[in-house]
Amino acid sequence: MRRTAERHANVADLPRLTVTMAIIYQTFNFAEAKYSVYITKNPQEADIWVYPVNYLGGHRGDTIWYFTEIREEATCKIQLCSLGESNIVVYMVSRFGDAGWQTTRKKGRFRFN
């Protein structure tokens, strides 16, 4: 999913409080990442089920993710890692209605937006 700064320049100009959806930037620097994330294919081992979108706006909360390549635009920076190293386990769903937290004890500690 290649994105250009020109296409999303207007979003970067908005105040941070108006963008309430999770805008995720994948970093390869462990020190820069807010969370270490493992993406699983097994829904039973996931802490959160996430619905990825390819456009910004209209969504709220931690369960709808928009992946960006613009570091400054992101509300959360993650690093993909193994299951043993991860803070949180994510399962990607194909339907909007399926997205949600599966582990309530982690819901308050992890914020992506």
| 100 or 11, which is more confident | 100
Average pLDDT over residues 76-103: 94
Tens digits of per-residue pLDDT, 50-80?
999 998 877 888 899 999 999 999 999 999 9
- The pLDDT score that the predictor gives to residue 13 is 55
57 neighbors 14 (Cβ within 8 angstroms): no
Q: Can you give the pTM of this predicted structure?
A: 0.77
Of 19-23, 43-47, 78-82, the one with minimum mean pLDDT is: 19-23
